[in-house]
């Protein structure tokens, strides 16, 4: 019974194996980015950028239909354009960065939905908004794996200045000029991973596998390396369990993955050993002199 429910789907069906491989690749790339977003108090920026890629992907869809490279290139261009525009508006006006991003992402979401609706059908719109990881082909899987590998390599290169800039940006500015480069490179990695997640989970859910595992990790570890490890593990677990849930029920695969991750997040809030609710209500006894 356990074998039929948890293992057999991946042994018997190639599309399930592809989906699981995609989840692992997405988890390895997106989860560490999510940890840094949370550390830098930029979680909502990730959500805004996820919506910002939609017009570019929609233009790619308008020109080439559901073409992988056209939609990926369009999403990357739109994401970088919104990030640059929001930065320019923030610097030349009194508007804060979060307010600027919120304005651009709302306009981007509306524009993207309009473009897809004009060109395609409701099914196409659902595919763009919520993805379909079970339809992952070899070409898309290779792109997802390449982007995840690129993310890990670049993150390793900028790791030290990124950590320092996240904790004490003023100190980094006094001893090095690497802070701005690390910040811009990090924003580029955010866009790349959101486009990566867009291929599998759609625009509205792509940020879920980035932010929720990071939130889970925050309740189980105080160290950055521990948080990254737990975030990646919880993302992979969420993906695996979500695929199984989707296979056994009528729940779409993308929402199933995010729902499982949300359940793990609630469990972490309650039972996490770092400021979890139960841990605070029943603290461990301290040694008495």
The parent domain of residue 257 ranges over 1-276
CB 33 within 8 A of CB 197: no
The answer to whether residues 278 and 271 touch, using CB atoms and an 8 Å cutoff, is: yes
Place of tokens 């719109």: 125
Q: Which two tokens stand for residue 243?
A: 């695929």
pTM for the whole thing?
A: 0.84
Q: pLDDT per residue over 57-108, tens digit each?
A: 778 777 776 666 777 788 888 877 877 777 677 667 766 666 666 677 777 7
**Is the residue at 282 inside a domain?**
no
Radius of gyration of the chain (CA): 20
**218's tokens:** 């925050």
Residues 36 and 166: beta-carbon distance below 8 Å: yes
Is residue 102 assigned to a domain? yes
Residue 128 scores a pLDDT above 90: no
Residue 284 in domain: no
User: Does 281 map to a domain?
Assistant: no
- Quick one: CA torsion of 226, 230, 232, 238, rounded to 10 degrees? -170
pLDDT of residue 88: 72
Asked whether residue 288 is assigned to any structural domain, the reply reads no
Instruction: Please report whether residue 238 resides in a domain.
Output: yes
User: Could you tell me how far CA 244 lies from the centroid of its own chain?
Assistant: 21
Condensed to tens digits (0 to 9), the pLDDT of residues 168-189 reads: 777 776 777 766 788 788 888 8
| 283 located within any domain | no
Is residue 168 situated within a structural domain? yes
Q: What is the CATH number of the domain that holds 58?
A: 1.10.3470.10
Count structural domains, the chain: 1
- Complete DSSP assignment for 184-251: HHHHHHHHHHHHHHHHHHHHHHTTHHHHHHHHHHHTT-SSHHHHHHHHHHHHHHHHHHHHHHHHHSSS
Output the CA–CA distances (angstroms, integers) from residue 84 to 23, 113, 161, 197, in the order listed.
29, 22, 21, 21
């Amino acid at each position: 019974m356990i074998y039929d429910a948890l293992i057999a789907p991946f042994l018997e069906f190639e599309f399930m194996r592809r989906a699981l491989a995609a989840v692992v690749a997405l988890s390895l790339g997106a989860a560490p980015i999510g940890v840094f977003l949370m550390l830098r108090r930029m979680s909502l920026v990730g959500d805004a950028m996820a919506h910002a890629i939609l017009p570019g992907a929609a233009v790619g869809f308008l020109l080439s239909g559901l073409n992988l490279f056209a939609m990926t290139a369009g999403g990357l261009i739109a994401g970088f354009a919104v990030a640059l525009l929001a930065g320019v508006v923030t610097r030349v006006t009194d508007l804060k960065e979060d307010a600027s991003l919120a304005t651009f992402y709302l306009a981007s979401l509306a524009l993207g939905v309009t473009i897809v609706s004009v060109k395609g059908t409701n099914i196409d719109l659902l595919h763009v908004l919520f993805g379909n990881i079970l339809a992952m082909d070899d070409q898309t899987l290779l792109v997802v794996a390449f982007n995840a590998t690129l993310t890990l390599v670049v993150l390793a290169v900028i790791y030290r200045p990124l950590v320092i800039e996240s904790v004490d940006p003023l100190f980094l500015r006094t001893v090095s000029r690497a802070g701005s480069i690390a910040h811009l490179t990090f924003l580029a990695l955010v866009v790349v991973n959101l486009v990566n997640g867009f291929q599998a989970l759609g625009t509205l859910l792509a940020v879920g596998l980035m932010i929720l595992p990071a939130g889970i990790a925050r309740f189980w570890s105080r160290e950055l390396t521990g948080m990254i490890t737990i975030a990646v593990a919880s993302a992979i677990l969420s993906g695996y369990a979500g695929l199984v849930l989707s296979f056994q029920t009528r729940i779409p695969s993308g929402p199933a993955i995010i729902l499982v991750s949300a359940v793990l997040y609630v469990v972490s809030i309650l039972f996490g050993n770092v400021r979890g609710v139960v841990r605070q209500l029943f603290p461990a006894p301290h040694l008495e002199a």
